[in-house]
Amino acid sequence: MATSKLLFSLCVLGAFASATAAPATYDIDPEHTYPSFEADHMGISVWRGRFNKTTGKVLLDKAGGTGTVDIAIDTASIDFGHPKVAEYVAGPEQLDAAKYPTITYKGKLGGFRNGAPTTLTGELTMHGVTKPVALKVNSFKCVAHPMLKRDYCGADASGSFKRDAFGLDYQPQWGFKPDVTLRIQVEAIKAE
């Protein structure tokens, strides 16, 4: 009798472990996710900005060490803290938000250590051009959301790209360098 109870308990634990180890879908929390960037301004200073509207999903298998990311950014939500500059950059001479309303990033999480990814490799589509962009995951942590009682994960990732590779070669004769540093803080809640 004791053996059958032990076997039953092991089966229940095994079923629980496999259920909790399964890949889970997380919805990006748009109130806590703001891709930000740094770009040169005429070779004399660095301008910083962010995008205010982001949506997407993350599929994460912590135990299996795999995951995917699918992010959509509203191009017109660009924000420099200066409305006229943001309006101009979102306009037809630069990002052309009317023609290209969404910037997307689709990638794979990798380099898992203790259930946390350290890299993200994928493709950025911006201004009608798709190019590979790799990001380093500087920090990653999941906790139980205090109000929603579901797994809640946050990360900070960074990388760089050249904007002229996406057809954004605004005024190089004025000293604008093409290098862009990208930094993303993201939070996501496990889907119900």
Residues in Cβ contact with 118 at an 8 Å cutoff, skipping those fewer than 6 apart: 110, 111, 112, 136, 137, 140
DSSP type of residue 114: T
What is the rounded CA–CA span in Å between residue 73 and residue 146? Answer: 27
User: Whole-model pTM?
Assistant: 0.84
Structure confidence at residue 178 (pLDDT): 81
192 residues of the chain, pLDDT tens digit each? 454 443 334 343 344 344 445 899 999 999 999 999 998 888 888 889 999 999 999 999 999 999 999 999 999 999 999 999 899 999 998 999 999 999 999 999 999 999 899 999 999 999 999 999 999 999 999 999 999 899 999 999 999 999 899 988 876 666 678 899 999 999 999 998
Tokens matching residue 7 = 């076997």
pLDDT value at position 17?
42
Q: What is the pLDDT of residue 173?
A: 60
How open is the CA angle 41-31-35, to the nearest 5 degrees? 30
Structural domains of the chain sorted by starting position, each given as residue range(s) with its CATH number in brackets: 22-190 (2.40.128.110)
- Of the candidates 37, 81, 32, the one whose C-alpha atom is nearest the C-alpha of residue 56 is 32
Q: How far apart are CA 64 and CA 62, in angstroms?
A: 6
Tell me how far apart the terminal alpha carbons of the chain are, to the nearest angstrom.
Answer: 38
Report the candidate in 82, 90, 94, 166 with the shortest Cα–Cα distance to residue 123.
166
